[in-house]
Structure 1
Amino acid sequence: MTFTVERAERPGRVLVVSAPFAHPGNWMSLPSAVVRPSTVAASVRTAIREGWAPGDNGRPFPLSLAPEDISAFRPDPS
């Protein structure tokens, strides 16, 4: 699953987060998880540590996550 993050008040460089799970509504029954606010917050903190400057302009900043990167992953109960 991929999700994006951008500042609301002054849009700038977009963060593109690739997570190691599928969307809960995927039709292939792949392992899925819910993207919770805590997952987004942890992703933002990781990206800033790795050099993302949300107020800058420029190309999207890619961030690939592994399950162990964020403890906020919560498996989909289905």
Structure 2
Amino acid sequence: MREVPDYWRIADDVIADVRAKRLKAGDKLPSIAELRQKYEVSHGTVQMSYARLEALRIIRRQQGKGVFVNDPKLWMREP
């Protein structure tokens, strides 16, 4: 069995938190430095996670303000 890359695991954790409503639309995500420390990964790994989440429309970046959760209606399908 292949191991899941760290950037994918971080992104999946964010998605799980949104689905479980621990994160809601408009919530600010932790900084790159905070996630680096939490997951013990490099800056680039966190950047890749955020890039993946942004491509999936789960988050949006606001320069100088941070990274925020998009409204799940934009990307989440009903079960």
Please report the TM-score for the alignment, with normalisation by the length of structure 2: 0.30
User: Which of the two has higher C-alpha Rg?
Assistant: 1
Greater percentage in strand: 1
Larger RCO (CA within 8 A; separation ≥ 6): 1
Please report the TM-score for the alignment, with normalisation by the length of structure 1: 0.30
